[in-house]
Amino acid sequence: MEGEKVALLFGALLCLGYAYEVSVSCMMAYDEGGASAVFNSPECPRWDFSAAIKNGTEKCLVTTHKGRRKYQEDRITCYPHVIIPVLGEDGPNEASMGIAAVFDGHGGEEASEMASQKFLHYFLLHVVFDTYKNLFSHSKEYEGAGQYSLKFKVADELTHGILEKALLRTIQDIDSEFSQEALRNDYISGSTAIVVLWMNGQIFVGNLGDSKALVCSRKTHIDEDNEDDLVARLEAEELTKDHHPDRDDEKARIEAAGGVVLVVGVPRVNGILAVSRSIGDIRLKRYGVIAEPEVTGWRRLSTDDWYVVIGSDGIFERTTSQDVCDILLREHAKENKTSIGSSLCPSSSSLADCIVHNAFSKGSSDNLSVIVIPLRQESPSMEHQQQI
C-alpha cells in the first residue's frame, strides 16, 4: 500500500510538461531486468520520449562515409537538446543536455545498429528511474504516521552521478540484449561505443574501443620567427584512451581470462579482435573482452575551448588528433576571412565533411564517421559555450 502511494507521488511530482508514470510493478521490472525489461513488460506504460527531444541541430555537425570498405558499419547519433528531469531546490525540475555517440561496428552492422537505435531511449529511461530513486532516498523524512516531508537540495554531483550511472547501465543493457540476439542468430559482430554528454558548460565521456573524443582549445605561442609576435593555434586534448589489447591493463585482463594477445597486423585478442572492449563479440567475451566503458570525470569548458570532436578510428588511421584541430582552425580562418590560405576541402564542405575528406584523401581504409560540436559564441550557429 505504501509503495502504491509512493508511485502515485512520483507521477504527481515529475509532471514537467510531459509525465513519466511509474508503477510499483514497473519499478520491479526495472530492478530485475533494466531498460529492456521495462520496454517489454506489459505492466509498464508505453514510454515515449519524443517530447524530451527538442528540435535544433546547430550543435551537431555530422558526417559518415563508408570510405574504402564495401559496407558501412558505423552508426552515429547526436541530440543537442534533450530535456531530462533533475532535482532542484523546490523539487523536481527539468534541464537541457546534449548527447552524441559514435558506434563503430565490425564483423557486421548488427551490433552498431542496435546500439544506435536503442541508446537514447534506454539512457533516458535510466535517468528517469534513477532520478525517482534519488528523489526519495535523499529527501524523504517521516513526520508522524504516514506523513512525508520532502526537502530538496541542488547538487551537480547528484545529477552527474545519475547521468554517469545511466550511461554505464545503458551500454550494459544493450550488450546483454545484443548478446542474446547474437546467440539466437549466430551473429559474430560487435561494436565500439563512444558517448559524450554535455550540460551546463561541462562535458563527460564514456568510451569502449578505439574511437576518440577530443577538445580543440585555443592557445597562443611566441612566433619562432619573430619573438615579438604571438601565434594562435588550436591544440588537441584527447579525452579518451584507446582500448587496444596490448595496453598493459587490458592485456593483463585478457590473459587472466585465458586469452592471448597476438600481433596479426596489429595486436588482437586471440589473433582476431583489434579492441579489448566492445558491445557484442560474444565468442571472445570469455577471453576478457568486456563492454564496460572507461569514463572521464566531468570537464568544465572554458572560453578557449572551440570544438569537441568525436570520431571513429577510421578518422585517425592516417590523421592525428592535432591534425583534426589544425583542419578546424584553417576552416574557421577561411570562414571568417582572416586567412588567405587555400582550403584543402571542397567549397561546400561542413567542418565534419572536411575532416572526413581529409582522412579519406590521406588513405584511410576504414569507415569514416565524425561529429563536430562547435562551442564558440562568434559563429551565428553557435551558442555561448557556457550554455552547451
- Tens place of pLDDT for every residue, the chain, 388 residues? 444 434 434 443 344 445 666 778 888 888 989 999 998 888 887 778 888 887 665 689 999 999 999 999 999 999 999 999 887 666 678 889 999 999 999 999 999 999 999 999 999 999 999 888 877 665 554 344 444 444 444 467 888 999 999 999 999 999 999 999 999 999 999 999 999 999 999 999 999 999 999 999 998 876 666 666 667 889 999 999 999 999 999 999 999 999 999 999 999 999 999 999 999 999 999 999 999 999 999 999 999 999 999 999 999 999 999 999 999 998 887 766 555 455 567 666 789 999 999 999 999 999 999 999 999 754 433 333 333 4
**pLDDT, position 98:** 94
Contacts of 337 (CB under 8 A, 6+ apart): none
- d(Cα 112, Cα 114) in Å, to the nearest integer? 6
Q: What is the reported pLDDT for 221?
A: 72
Whole-angstrom Cα distance, residue 222 to residue 214?
24
Sign, Cα dihedral of 159, 162, 168, 174: negative
- On whether the CB atoms of residues 117 and 104 are closer than 8 A, the answer is no
**How much is the pLDDT for 307?**
96
| φ, ψ of residue 55 in degrees (nearest 5) | -70, 160
Closest CA to 151 of 132, 134, 133, 138: 138
What confidence score (pLDDT) does residue 384 get? 35
Q: Report pTM.
A: 0.87
Four-residue CA torsion sign, 163, 197, 57, 194: negative
Q: Which of 274, 367, 359 is nearest to 318 (CA)?
A: 359
Sort 359 into a burial class: Cβ within 10 Å, 0-12 / 13-18 / 19+.
buried
pLDDT at 150: 42
Strand partners, 368: 65
Structure confidence at residue 232 (pLDDT): 81
pLDDT at position 151 is 45
Q: What is the pLDDT of residue 135?
A: 74
H or E element, residue 180? helix 156-185
Q: Amino acid letter at 353? A: D
Helix, strand or coil, per DSSP, at residue 310: strand
Cβ within 8 Å of residue 13, ≥6 positions away: 91, 92, 135
pLDDT of residue 336: 62
Q: In whole angstroms, what is the distance from residue 373 CA to residue 118 CA?
A: 22
Q: Is 232 exposed, middle or buried (0-12, 13-18, 19+ CB in 10 A)?
A: exposed
